[in-house]
Structure 1
Amino acid sequence: MTEGNFVDYIKIYASSGKGGKGSAHLHREKYITKGGPDGGDGGRGGHVIIRGSKNMWTLFHLKFKKHFRAEQGGDGGKSRSTGKDGEDIYIDVPLGTIVRDGETQEILFEITEDTQEKILVEGGMGGRGNWHFKSPTNQTPRYAQPGIEGQEGWFQLELKILADVGLVGFPNAGKSTLLSVVTAAKPKIADYAFTTLKPNLGIVEYRNFQSFVMADIPGIIEGAAEGKGLGHRFLRHIERNSTLLFLIPADSDDIAKEYEILLNELKKHNPELLDKQRLLAISKSDMLDDELKEELEKEIPKDIPYLFISSVAQMGLTELKDKLWKMLN
């Protein structure tokens, strides 16, 4: 998936179908000139339904089609025949999509399972036919109910990526390189900050045909929680990862300070992120000898398990996968 095709936020307009009119028909036959009321009910208007699909990764397909209008219900007919229900419209979205009211920003529901369906706007009920209104005092009612109007409105869809492991680090910490080495993903890699502007997902193949999903989330900068840099746009993707892999390069000026800043940004965005399991990987470690490693170990925070890795030299990656698998299971 190219970076431009990754869309994680979209606004759509949905309107459900109006219910069909009830019929005010009176029964007529060759030898029955004054039959009773036999008008059927109107059909229900079509719903607009959001449906989860495990085969989707982005909201890109909604970028150019933002208006969804369901069909109206059919009108009732004679002989108590009910009108046809309006056809429902389905909007397929990736798992991890949150749906909000476009005006109040209130979260309406989340889609987290394949084929899960939630009605976004309900179709209007069909009107009742005149036979419902027959009574001892009114044998031939000549009226029926009109159908109820459908609902409509603007809605906001936000995608929070569902991945097992989220990569957390400053721009240029080597997250994209790691992802490209341990998975089949092909993120853009270059030697400048913010090469990654959109999350990249990759499947890490583990032993015995097992696997887990790793997400490379764009680099954090100080002030990201306040919306600096790419801000909230990517911090929300970390919320759904069960394990956070912090990546700090071996040539960093101060590993402990960098780790503290990263933690602080996560805490400011959502304090619950600190409850997740954490692992620290010191990247670009192929340039370290044993003596330098010992020196660096003194700097590493004591409250987090760590290991030295190098994506380029393929060093420590099996150990990293083993550790992550253990944490996930």
Structure 2
Amino acid sequence: MANPNFIDYVKINCRSGAGGAGSRHFRREKYIPKGGPDGGDGGRGGHVILKGNAQLWTLLHLKYTKHIFAEKGENGQGANCTGRQGKDVYIEVPIGTIAKDAETGEKMAEITEDGQEIILLTGGRGGLGNTHFKTPTNQAPQYAQPGEEGQEKWIIIELKLLADVGLVGFPNAGKSTLLSVVSAAKPEIADYPFTTIVPNLGVVSYYDNQSFVMADIPGIIEGAAEGKGLGVRFLRHIERNSVLLFMIPADSKDIRADYEILLNELRKYNPELLDKKRLLAITKSDLLDSELQQEMEKELPSNIPAVFISSLTHRGISELKDLIWNSLK
């Protein structure tokens, strides 16, 4: 069953605050009948700001938020009093989140650090009060600027997981099992396809208190780039991985062909994914005897480092960690 707490895509109508109007006011005090203009400026409207929060791992808190509006700036007042600035509104998101213009698809912001703040929509400037328009020939200006309108857009907020290693393979390739063996992550594991329907992250311990982050991406099937199976919904999570670990089970009819299918799906989705470092793990190798493994080694793709592993017996797991670590360096 899908994890209802993992949300990686939301679309929100956002609007920054309008600026307050400048004041058209004249100083009127006892004994000063012609005090002149003293209208204050309007306050700036509130910004809409995207902010990184390392404590978040999902966009669940935004799932039912359809509108986010920042506060308007207050109007200026007499005695040269500037109106109060509208309150900025913050959209807190996990590290690895991007914001895009829903209409054009243009990327507006990308959050890569905790506490990072990026203004998505700028609040409108406050209008100038009439005190700014006093001249020798117009000592009593009747004009003050109106506040500038705020900006409004439909914005797509999309999470792309940040991990060092992304596991790429067909359903039932053993990705979830490997993650459960090498980290403290507890993904759902079963014998049916698409056990993993949300990405899982795990921290893998290495020597000398070092570690790296591994992401179990839901299984890819042929045609995923066109939307088949789970489609491209989770292919985007692979974009942020430094190393791609292709996983193909030892009982595959043709390991080289399966590898090419996976590679082709990534190519169709985003050709730049092929520029990433690639490793190959032949899973469930406890099914092989030494003679069968030697025959299979001859059929492996020649341009990618490969290792035979078994999550059941832990065979080759240390060798795989070394391979990953050296690739990350």
Alignment partner of 1:43: what SS?
coil
Q: Secondary structure at the match of 2:234?
A: helix
User: Secondary structure at 2:291's aligned position in 1?
Assistant: helix
Q: Please show how residues 78-89 of structure 1 align to structure 2 within 5 Å.
A: 78-89=78-89
SS in 2 for 1:177: helix
Task: Determine helix, strand or coil for the equivalent of 1:266.
Answer: helix
TM-superposed deviation, 1:226 = 1.3
The CA deviation string for residues 239-296 of structure 1, in whole angstroms up to 9 with x for no partner, is 1111010111111111111111111111111111111111111111122221121121
Partner SS state of residue 212, structure 1: strand
Residue matched to 1:212: 212
Q: Which residue of 2 aligns with 1:166?
A: 166
Q: Secondary structure at the match of 1:148?
A: coil
How far the C-alpha of 1:303 sits from its partner, in A, is 1.1
Which residue is 1:261 aligned to? 261
Deviations 1:196-238 (A, max 9, x none): 1111111111122211111000111111111111111111111
Q: What residue is the counterpart of 1:137 in the other structure?
A: 137
Q: Residue type of the partner of 1:131?
A: T
What one-letter code is carried by the residue in structure 1 that aligns with 2:98?
Answer: I
2:289 aligns with 289
1:277: which partner in 2?
A: 277
SS at 1:219's partner residue? coil
The answer as to whether partners of 2:168 and 2:245 remain within 8 angstroms in 1 is yes
1:106 is the counterpart of 2:111: no
- 1:143 deviation in Å? 2.6
Aligned positions of 1:188-227 closer than 5 A: 188-227=188-227
Aligned mates of 2:3, 2:175 — CA distance in 1: 16
**Counterpart for residue 43 of structure 1:** 43
Partner of 1:251 in structure 2? 251
**Equivalent residue, structure 2, for 1:21:** 21
Match of 1:6 in 2: 6
For 1:302 and 1:188, locate their aligned partners in 2 and report how far apart those are by CA, in whole Å.
33
Give identity over the alignment, percent: 68
| Unaligned segments of structure 2, at least 5 residues | none
Q: Which amino acid aligns with 2:74?
A: G
Tell me the SS of whatever aligns to 1:5.
coil
In structure 1, stretches of 5+ residues that fail to align are none
Q: Give the aligned partner of residue 147 of structure 1.
A: 147
1:54, distance to aligned residue in structure 2 (A): 2.0
Q: Distance in 1 between matches of 2:98 and 2:142?
A: 47
- Shift of the alpha carbon at 1:21? 1.5
Q: How many residues align?
A: 328
How far apart, CA to CA, are the structure 2 residues paired with 1:18 and 1:274? 46
Q: 2:157 matched to which residue of 1?
A: 157
**2:122 match:** 122
Q: Structure 2: how far apart are the matches of 1:169 and 1:178?
A: 12
How far the C-alpha of 1:297 sits from its partner, in A, is 0.8
What amino acid does structure 1 have at the position aligned with 2:54? Answer: K
- 1:318 match: 318
Looking at structure 2, the residues matched to 57 and 105 of structure 1 have their Cα atoms a distance apart, in angstroms, of 23
Matches of 2:196 and 2:129, distance apart in 1: 60
| Shift of residue 25, structure 1, vs aligned partner | 1.4
Separation in 2 of the partners of 1:75 and 1:269?
A: 50
Structure 2 equivalent of residue 56 of structure 1: 56
Give the TM-score normalised by the residue count of structure 1: 0.97
1:241 lines up with 2:241 in the alignment: yes
Kept in 1, the 8 Å contact 2:109–2:120? The answer is no
Contact 2:20–2:74 under 8 Å retained in 1: yes
Distance 1:142 1:272 in 2: 60
Aligned Cα root-mean-square deviation (Å): 1.2
Residues 93-115 of structure 1: per-residue CA shift (max 9 Å, x gap) = 11221211122222222222222
Give yes or no for the alignment of 1:306 onto 2:306: yes
Q: Distance in 2 between matches of 1:128 and 1:292?
A: 82
Deviates more, 1:107-116 or 1:236-245: 107-116
TM-score, structure 2 normalization? 0.97
